[in-house]
Amino acid sequence: MIADYHNNGFLPVRGLVDHVTAGRLRQQLDELLTVLSPTHPYWQKDIVPLSVLSPRRNPGIEAASLAAVPFIIGNLPVLLPGIFSAAIGEPVKTLATTLLGSNNIEFNFANVTRKPAHIGPNMAWHRDHPNQYICPRNADDFLRILIALDPVTPANGALQVIPGSHRNNEGDCKLMSQTDELVSLAMEPGDAIALHPSTCHGGPENRSDVDRNLVIVQISRAGVEYDYNEAELYTGVNMDAIRHAQTRRPGV
Ligand SMILES: O=C(O)CCC(=O)C(=O)O
């Protein structure tokens, strides 16, 4: 398992979150979506609407129709506490500990990234290192874990990766995607993909009838140097302490 992650730059993990829990989390997301609109008190700070994406990311869809549709939902401790608990739960922690090769890890952030049915955008080819959120200087010091809340297929925008691309840091992901082998990663609710931050990834639009919602969690080795937004990091706090702090601090 560890060898596959290091060789390929990604690792699919079936049932990281059990099916029943994944269904419950999906329902919590639905409940939030029924009240989430631009007048919601957390909209400005914690929601990225689909309308901010370049038209290239959503061909054929009128941007004005996307202004009230959440693309990324942040602040999970407040907006989706059940999903946040899963994002920092034991299975995620164990997977990250194993793949990073360290018992001393830090939670960086988590969000829900959405490709709603019919209007879900594509993901341009990119690597997650460097990124503008919270970025450990050394790519090997962190990873992302993507957990499916819906069945994911190529039709509703499954993640695509270029195996081994994390070992070719200089390569342009878009160019490589035109020549290299691509793998499309289908998932069931609760399945996860661990992604090395240098792995080229992207994915098609969702024009199907099925929503595609992912929970994305970034975790690093503890105590490493960061290049961006270090202030946003729960610096020096281990995952158990974060879990404790977040349950005591609604509204943060
Ligand atoms: O939602 C996806 O398919 C991937 C998201 C992604 O690439 C990212 O957050 O960097």
pLDDT digits (tens, 9 = 90+) for 199-216: 999 999 999 999 999 999
Cα separation, 91 vs 138, in Å, equals 24
Predicted TM-score of the model (pTM) = 0.91
Ligand 1 test: best mutation among 216, 217, 218, most atoms within 8 Å of CB? Answer: 216
Q: Is the CB of 216 under 6 A from ligand 1?
A: yes
At 229 the pLDDT is 52
* Widest pairwise Cα distance in the chain: 50
Mean pLDDT split into 10-residue runs, the chain, 252 residues: 96 97 98 97 88 92 92 89 94 97 90 96 93 82 97 98 94 94 97 97 98 95 75 43 39 30
Minimal-distance CA residue to ligand 1 atom 8: 128
Q: Is the CB of 113 under 6 A from ligand 1?
A: yes
At 133 the pLDDT is 67
Domains defined for the chain, CATH in brackets: 2-50+63-248 (2.60.120.620)
If one counts every other C-beta atom within 10 angstroms of the C-beta of residue 112, the result is: 25
If one counts every other C-beta atom within 10 angstroms of the C-beta of residue 56, the result is: 9
Q: How far is CA 168 from CA 7, 12, 43, 96, 184, in A?
A: 12, 21, 38, 23, 20
Which residues pair with residue 112 across a beta bridge? 73, 215
Contact (Cβ atoms closer than 8 angstroms) between residue 119 and residue 50: yes
